[in-house]
Structure 1
Amino acid sequence: MFLKIFRLIVFSLIVIINGFIAWMALYLTVSMFNTNLASSTVEQYTFLGAVAITVLLIWFGFSRLGENYMRAKLGLKPPIPQYLERLQPLFAEVCQRAGKNPEDYDLFISPENIYNAYAVGKRTIVVCYPMLSLPDDELKAVLAHELAHIEYKDTRVLLAANLMNTLGNISFGVIIAITIFVGSFVSSIQVDDRAGGGVLWQVLGKLWLIMIVAFLKLIAWILYKILEISFLAVGRGEEYRCDEYACRLGYGIPLASFLYRVESMEAGRKKNLWDKIKIQKKGFAETLFATHPPIRKRIERIGRILENRKN
């Protein structure tokens, strides 16, 4: 609960900082091309414009449009008929056990050549191509796990934060372009050029503005990374929760079987002793940015859940 509140605060700071940078970019752009409006009027309208853009991006990140954008960005494709004939009845059984309508979700195939599946937005469940080689029970267990991610709303906020960071990056570029190549923002500085100080003060003014915006952008980037890490930390806990969801639907044994399969394949890819040592002793950064808990721990936890259900 604490992490969820913490990441909400960090997300809010990301929105505020990048929204402020967007407002500065709008203000400089309008001031450069329109000298008829009073400064206070420009400030007011550009502020409202930045707020509107921010709200629109956040809405987009949580909307079906944002979900469709992610589908296109990830190169997801609807299953071809022969794949759909296999996946649909399996997913329908999972939804029946969960009390859900399979029509409320969309199945997609990812071109990634890895054993993986994931959820996007409110209704997208993605199966990577190699997963189609799994036995039916294991594939149903994986689909149940991904259904849980959607039901627990684990997949939405990070896209909105990413869009806000993109807005901040574009706005930062606009500010640099205007202050360096046009310099209209500092044209109101009155310095006696005959004293040789006018050009110097204008250059210093431009550099000072760029330094302030760069510092704000750095803070926004740091906050985004903090948000990302907090999402990963919460996400690792959510993996356990989604495993438990699949166990409640009766897919605990096939899910453990799938995880053991993946663990065996990972171990088989380690060509020498050094590779095996590296996988056993992960560094702090690697652990911090891990998207999933260690497979062995997930298998052990599923075993405990199944044992408790027997008792």
Structure 2
Amino acid sequence: MYIIDFFKKVARKSNIPVIIYLVLNTLIITFVFYFFACANTEFNPMVIIFGIMAYMISLMIALSPFGEWVLRFQTGCHKIKDEEQLAYIEPIFREVYRNAQRLDPEVPDDVELFINHDQVPNAFATGRKTICITEGLLQMPVGQIKATLAHEFGHLAHKDTDLILVVCVGNMIVSGIILGIRIFIEILHIVLSIVSIIWGGSEGLTARIASAVYHLLLSVSVSVLSYAWTKLGILLVMKSSRENEFEADEFAYDLGYGNELCALLSTIKGTPSTGLFANLASSHPDNELRIQRLQELR
């Protein structure tokens, strides 16, 4: 069963930081669910169970084809429509795909290839069955393209990309909660301001000052907590991501593309990235360290 296999794959030492982050996300979401459902009633453990179940359902949606489509849309990935590009990359992709499934039969069936307009040579895997290359990668030597694809198949084999989907959903829910709190603060501030105007006089002025101070303190508190939570998530996810990069590199090495991957990493280490790939690069270990680790596998 896929879900069981998913939890087996993600329960690796390299994923401990991001699993911690997911558990913390679950606790926050469950607490908020409980607070709104039981604030004025007796404690009911079923509310907590329902909160966890609601979060689990959202994760199931993330791991569905819909969740994968959303990530493709967000990252600007689309089917390769240029016939010349497709004729060039398709046989290369199929060759590496066959080799990856021979090495690890758990590499998903029906993996699809997409393209992004970024001119920096790069690629990324997302969801369960998506590999997206950049137009810039098509300009690289064939061996280096194969090495890049092999690396991305390593991520699919290890279910790293599913974990990204799960993290994204958790972040969206927590972000939604923070947005809801911000909206509540703004509405309350507006109501108190209207009340202070109606009162008028010194009492109205006092109420207006109290409202402004209250609004400022709450807004700053929410902003600080949001910033701290985001930074914590980035640190934990980046830690897991960097370890997973080494494992995906080793997968490419086991497929026989170690030298080509070293050559590619050496070529692109000084190439500036923008947008999506700047974010991806920030979660990757230094290319020189990756080359060193690959050379140690020989």
Q: CA deviation at 1:292?
A: 1.7
Residue 142 of structure 2 corresponds to residue 141 of structure 1: no
| Equivalent position of 2:278 in the other structure | none
5 Å matches for 1:146-161?
146-155=152-161, 156=164, 157-161=166-170
Change (3 A) 1:64 1:91: same
**3-state SS, counterpart of residue 160 of structure 2:** coil
Q: CA deviation at 1:102?
A: 7.6
Q: CA deviation at 1:305?
A: 1.4
The amino acid of 2:288's aligned partner reads: R
| Equivalent position of 2:9 in the other structure | none
5 Å matches for 1:234-253?
234-253=240-259
- Write the distance in 2 (CA, Å) between the matches of 1:234 and 1:7: 6
- Write the distance in 1 (CA, Å) between the matches of 2:210 and 2:34: 22
Q: CA deviation at 1:207?
A: 6.0
- Contact 2:17-2:239 within 8 A present in 1 as well: no
Q: Work out the number of aligned pairs and report it.
A: 262
5 Å matches for 1:1-311?
4-17=15-28, 40=40, 51=51, 54-55=55-56, 57-80=58-81, 81-99=83-101, 103-155=109-161, 156=164, 157-182=166-191, 204=210, 211=217, 215=221, 218-263=224-269, 266=271, 290-306=282-298
Comparing 141-150 with 6-15, greater Cα deviation is found at 6-15
- Contact 1:114-1:128 within 8 A present in 2 as well: yes
The amino acid of 1:161's aligned partner reads: G
Comparing 142-151 with 217-226, greater Cα deviation is found at 217-226
- Write the distance in 2 (CA, Å) between the matches of 1:59 and 1:242: 25
**3-state SS, counterpart of residue 109 of structure 1:** strand
- Write the distance in 1 (CA, Å) between the matches of 2:221 and 2:18: 21
Change (3 A) 1:214 1:16: farther
Residue by residue over 1:106-136, the C-alpha shift from the partner in whole angstroms, topping out at 9 and shown as x without a partner, is 1111111211111111111110111001222
Q: CA deviation at 1:22?
A: 7.5
Structure 2: runs of 5+ lacking an equivalent: 1-11, 273-280
- Write the distance in 1 (CA, Å) between the matches of 2:27 and 2:87: 47
Comparing 103-112 with 15-24, greater Cα deviation is found at 15-24
- Contact 2:100-2:153 within 8 A present in 1 as well: no
Q: Which of structures 1 and 2 has the bigger CA Rg?
A: 1
Equivalent pairs: percent with the same residue?
Answer: 24
- Write the distance in 2 (CA, Å) between the matches of 1:303 and 1:19: 46
The amino acid of 2:191's aligned partner reads: V
